[in-house]
């Protein structure tokens, strides 16, 4: 297997492009795909301040790395979810990367800020951990970006992630989610920061190869709460199809993006009037929401109320601490 650029031995074959690359030319390919995504989708430019959501995994650290290499003003945001040793190891990887590259890093400690980790928050608000985690991350990405004056939030969702989400939305016909799925979510409220996904043209395998070739130290294991997640089942199904027919994921997701406006217009708003729920500010935290109280505040309030109930229950009255 030879590199299509220089005919030297290749380190990675990309079957959907009918191509293979040596290490230097693969890094060029990876970088050009990110730059193309940024330019074609008008995600941001060199004057924008970008907040990169980093988890310590290969995708987010690769995204942060390539944006810094391209000269963008990219700072990292790590949310410490309090998931035992997994969170501690993830944090170590992020800190190591930030120190090595002398990059700005912001850290939000969920247990310190809200008095409980994401698993406790999920249990007390009657949510599954992945639901509480996703809601917390979305809320904090926007809040931190807004509080610190960032122009855009960049997340490391890759082609595999987006194709799996799309497949799940199609299977269950989540039409509202279909309309919102895009590499770019523009701001629709003064307190809602633009969100982008610069890795949507690249597969998970390719981001892993980039991380290895760039010497990025990342956490290998998956979040322990993701075991049994339906998204993993969709990824497994798509991997099977991709092995039999290279390009399946790309064809599915990119085809969807080409037809997205038609799909959104015909399914969600037959009259073409673009009906959308109006956004207001949460009466508790001021963040944009369609309801009087945002979903994150409702979740945390429910969890806190449950925690107070446990603390002052009949068996605890004698040892209550103020």
User: How does residue 317 score in pLDDT terms, banded at 50, 70 and 90?
Assistant: very low
Chain centroid offset of residue 254 CA: 18
What is the share, in percent, of the chain residues with pLDDT greater than 70? Answer: 91
The mean predicted confidence, pLDDT, of the chain is 91
Instruction: Between 179 and 263, name the one with better pLDDT.
Output: 179
> Could you give the CA distance from residue 144 to residue 135 in angstroms, rounded to a whole number?
14
For residue 168, pLDDT beyond 50: yes
SS3 of residue 19 by DSSP: strand
Asked if residue 271 has pLDDT above 60, the reply is no
pLDDT digit string, tens, across residues 4-45 = 999 999 999 999 999 999 999 999 999 999 999 999 999 999
The residues, any chain, with a CB within 8 Å of residue 76's CB and separated by 6 or more, are 51, 52, 54, 64, 94, 97, 98, 103, 104, 105, 106
What is the pLDDT at residue 155?
A: 98
**Mean pLDDT on 116-130:** 94
Residue 65 Cα to chain centre, angstroms: 16
What would the two tokens of residue 66 be? Answer: 């390539």
Give me the pLDDT at residue 303, please.
93
Q: Residue 319: what pLDDT?
A: 36
The pLDDT tens digits for 80-114 are 999 999 999 999 999 999 999 999 999 999 999 99
The pairs formed by 126-134 with CB atoms below 8 angstroms and a separation of 24 or more are 126/302, 127/299, 129/225, 130/225, 130/226, 130/229, 132/299, 133/81, 133/223, 133/225
Q: Which residues contact 21 (CB under 8 A, 6 or more apart)?
A: 3, 4, 5, 10, 11, 12, 14, 28, 29
Tell me: pLDDT of 311 over 90. Answer: no
For position 66, what pLDDT does the model report?
A: 98
Inter-residue contact 234 to 180 (CB < 8 Å):
no
Instruction: Tell the burial category of 51 from Cβ atoms under 10 Å away from its Cβ (0-12, 13-18, 19+).
Output: buried
pLDDT at 277: 65
- State the sign of the Cα–Cα–Cα–Cα dihedral 312, 316, 318, 321: negative
Residues 6+ apart with CB under 8 A from 184: 41, 42, 43, 194, 195, 196, 197
For 225-255, how does the pLDDT look when each residue is reduced to its tens digit (9 = 90+)?
A: 887 788 999 999 999 999 999 999 999 999 9
HSE, side-chain direction, 13 A CA sphere, residue 271 = 4
Q: Say if residue 76's pLDDT is above 70.
A: yes
> Do the Cβ atoms of 283 and 292 come closer than 8 Å?
yes
Domains of the chain: 42-222+230-315 (3.40.50.620)
């Amino acid at each position: 297997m030879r590199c299509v650029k220089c005919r030297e031995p290749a380190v990675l074959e990309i079957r959907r492009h009918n191509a293979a690359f040596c290490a230097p030319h693969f890094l060029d390919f990876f970088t050009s795909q990110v730059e193309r995504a940024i330019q074609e989708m008008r995600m941001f430019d060199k004057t924008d301040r970008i907040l990169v959501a980093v988890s310590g995994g290969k995708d987010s650290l690769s995204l942060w790395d390539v944006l810094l290499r391209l000269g963008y003003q990219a700072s990292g945001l790590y949310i410490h979810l309090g998931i035992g040793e997994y969170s501690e190891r993830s944090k170590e990887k992020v800190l190591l990367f930030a120190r090595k590259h002398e990059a700005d890093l912001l850290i939000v400690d969920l247990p310190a800020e809200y008095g409980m980790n994401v698993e406790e928050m999920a249990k007390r608000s009657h949510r599954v951990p992945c639901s509480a985690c996703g809601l917390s991350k979305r809320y904090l990405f926007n809040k931190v970006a807004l509080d610190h004056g960032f122009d855009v939030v960049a997340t490391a969702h890759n082609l595999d992630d987006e194709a799996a989400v799309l497949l799940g939305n199609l299977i269950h016909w989540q039409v509202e989610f279909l309309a919102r799925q895009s590499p770019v979510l523009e701001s629709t409220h003064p307190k809602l920061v633009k969100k982008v996904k610069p890795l949507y043209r690249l597969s998970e395998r390719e981001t892993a190869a980039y991380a290895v070739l760039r010497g990025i130290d990342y956490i290998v294991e998956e979040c322990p709460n993701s075991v049994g997640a339906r998204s993993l089942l969709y990824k497994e199904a798509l991997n099977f199809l991709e092995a039999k027919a290279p390009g399946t994921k790309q064809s599915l997701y990119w085809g969807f993006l080409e037809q997205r406006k038609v799909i959104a217009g015909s399914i969600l708003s037959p009259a073409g009037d673009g009906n959308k729920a109006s956004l207001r500010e949460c009466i508790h935290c001021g963040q944009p929401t369609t309801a009087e109280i945002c979903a994150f505040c409702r979740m945390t309030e429910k969890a806190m109320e449950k925690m107070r109930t446990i603390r002052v229950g009949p068996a605890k009255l004698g040892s209550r601490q103020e």
